[in-house]
Structure 1
Amino acid sequence: MKKNLFALLALLWVSVGSASAQKLALVDMEYILGKMPAYEMMNRQLEDLSKKWQQEVSGQEAEAQALYKKYQSDLVFLSAEQKKMREEEIVTTEKAAYELKRKYFGPEGELMKRRESLMKPIQDEVWKSLKELALAQGYHVIIDKASSKIVYADPSVDVSAIVLQKMGFGK
């Protein structure tokens, strides 16, 4: 990953630097976030919530497992209709456990939504500070060295419109 970052920096330095002297900065977002009490508090809240929800899911899964074990032990004594009813009950309980897990921990789940809502004010605070720093110090690009992503770019270095124009899609 460091090679990718340095390759990106070298490319930016050559391409942007050749046009005029552009200022570039690196930040370590993991380090910054790790020093923010609000971020630590958010992580604790999410961890507590995750544990609570996991207990709920585990309880549902344990219930399905108990139903299955009971079904296995009673199997020889059950009529065909009773077997079918028990099997449906087990499947319904397993589906409920799966849906509960998806509701809380899925990609669109409650944990992800909560993380996004709690993280937004923290991200806004960091973004505001980065933008203020970039404007005050004259940085054109700020890159997060932890993720190799550009976290700030001065709009004056965006050449998207020029590229589109050269391709015949511009004005």
Structure 2
Amino acid sequence: MKIPFAGFFFIVFLGLSCHVQAQKKDLPKQNKWGYVDTDFILSKMPDYQKAQKEIALLSDSWTEELKIKYLEIDTLYNEFQEEAVLLSLEEKTKRMEEIKAREDSLSAYRKDVFGFEGQFFQKKKEILKTIQDRLFDAIEQVAKEYKLQTVFDKAGDQNIIYVNAIHDYSDYVLEKLGLGDPNDVVR
């Protein structure tokens, strides 16, 4: 028996249709999602404010240290410029090498402190770790409590063009952190 061309497509379509219906039974009934604004939540956390101040002080301290070292090098260079006419070629070379060595050392130190994965980055990560852990634990609790499969961060790099405020779970996360506004009525 020969199956007409249109009949062949009907049989394939019917088979795929049954396969898709069988797979749908395994999926949750509703793919629920929500979003939070971590910038907003962090702004309400006193621990985060304290950590930000500590990070700023640390940054300022290292920046000031670098400024002092740059001024020392600048002073050496200015002294060299003033005395250059009186110095022998050998003394000029020696002083320029000393200035260059200090510049190289300072550049390496600046990179070690403020470079990618530098001391400042590591210290900042260490200071913020417990705060971030608390925040993500609270987000996870809210997601499980409200049966959310996906939670987006409005403050992150996500390109959310439009979001209905009904999906905002930031207030619930604040409540989990014990930072909810007692006068604010959460949906």
TM-score tier (shorter): 0.7 to 0.9
2:69 corresponds to which of 53, 60, 72: 60
The amino acid that maps onto 2:131 is: I
Deviations 1:131-157 (A, max 9, x none): 1111111111000011128xxxxxxxx
The corresponding residue for 2:133 is: 124
The amino acid that maps onto 2:73 is: A
1:99 matched to 2:108: yes
Q: CA deviation at 1:20?
A: 3.8
- For structure 2, the residue ranges without an aligned partner over 5 or more in a row are 1-26, 160-187
Tell which has more relative contact order, 1 or 2 (C-alpha 8 A, sep 6+). Answer: 2
The corresponding residue for 1:144 is: 153
Counterparts of 1:110-121 in structure 2, within 5 Å, are 110-121=119-130
The corresponding residue for 1:152 is: none
Q: CA deviation at 1:19?
A: 7.4
- For structure 1, the residue ranges without an aligned partner over 5 or more in a row are 1-17, 150-171
The amino acid that maps onto 1:59 is: I
Distance in 2, matches of 1:55 and 1:145, equals 35
1:83 corresponds to which of 86, 92, 117: 92
What is the TM-score when the length of structure 1 is the normalising length? Answer: 0.73
SS in 2 for 1:50: helix
Aligned-residue sequence identity (percent) comes to: 30
Q: Counting helix residues as a fraction of each chain, which structure ranks higher?
A: 1
- Which of the pair has more CA radius of gyration? 2
Distance in 1, matches of 2:73 and 2:62, equals 17
List structure 1 runs of 4+ shifted beyond 3 angstroms: none
SS in 2 for 1:142: strand
What's the Cα RMSD here? 1.6
Distance in 2, matches of 1:143 and 1:93, equals 48
* Alignment check: 8 A CA contact 1:63 1:93 kept: no
Q: What is the count of residue pairs matched by the alignment? A: 132
1:29 matched to 2:38: yes
The amino acid that maps onto 1:24 is: W
Q: CA deviation at 1:76?
A: 0.7
